[in-house]
Amino acid sequence: MLLVIDVGNTQTVLGVYESDVLVGMWRMATSKHETSDELRAKVLPLLGMEGVDVADIDGAAIASVVPSLTSAWQRALERLIGRQPVICSAKNAVGLFEASYDYPAEIGADRVADAVAARAIYGAPVIVVDFGTATNLEVIDASGQFVGGIIAPGLETSAAALFLHATKLPAIELADPGTAIGKSTVHAMQSGIVYGEADRVDGFVHRIFAELGYEAPVVATGGLATTMAPLCETVTDSNSELTLEGLRLVYNAAEGVLCDN
């Protein structure tokens, strides 16, 4: 079995694969100061909830955008499964990730995993919209190359900035308000934040289409994809498992051998 871990700034998503089937998936808050021992103590009960014996896990892969946790997770997994995990990167995505990009080593591990999975599942061209701490758009062109993308403040990040700087505005649930014209302060804020994000993503996608010279499927993923995908006119599919699937593919490509990130 394979354990895959997507470490984001706000949330960490874990999954366990048996062959190519995802048999367990968990989402937990990211704490940037956790030690390898604390991480190990969290993983064991999660595996137990799904009846997975740690002795049955023979490999692991990590995509991390938090450098301090990359090494902590690496040490935790080495103690858990007795071998080094594959660290996802453009370099390790052997044969799966081709980039027309000025500095490929700078491409975030989550972006690599998303692009790998999207190309494998949906073909090329394809665009990924990852709704997380940042809203990332990844662009794979008709030739199958990763040609770049967009990184913008995420929905919760934008909302938190508004709550912080506008002291009279309350913190709200980030949900579909149903109508654009707000009939209360909360309703008006939901419209501005949620619909604003949806329209911003659609605007980005239309700009990407214009630069590519053709349209492409648009796949939503990330913690807020369930909320946002139905509100974006350009999104054609939603796949909450996309990053984990990319990690599985990168692990297989790297043949379980840890390379330098």
Mean pLDDT of the chain, nearest integer: 91
Q: Contact at 8 Å (CB) between 122 and 129?
A: no
Instruction: List, in order of start, the domains of the chain with CATH numbers.
Output: 2-87 (3.30.420.40), 104-245 (3.30.420.40)
Structure-token pair, residue 36:
């390898």
Q: pTM of the entire structure? A: 0.89
pLDDT of residue 245: 97
Residue 110 known to be catalytic: yes
235 Cβ contact partners less than 8 Å away, ≥ 6 residues apart: 129, 201, 218, 219, 220, 228, 229
Q: Is 59 left (phi over 0), alpha (psi -120 to 50) or beta?
A: beta
3-class state of residue 3 by DSSP: strand
Q: What is the pLDDT of residues 83-116, one digit of tens each?
A: 999 999 998 887 899 999 988 889 999 999 999 9
Active-site choice (110, 114, 130, 141): 110
pLDDT tens profile 42-71: 999 989 888 888 889 999 999 999 999 999
First-to-final CA distance of the chain: 23
What element of type H or E holds 232? none
Mean pLDDT computed over 224-247 = 96
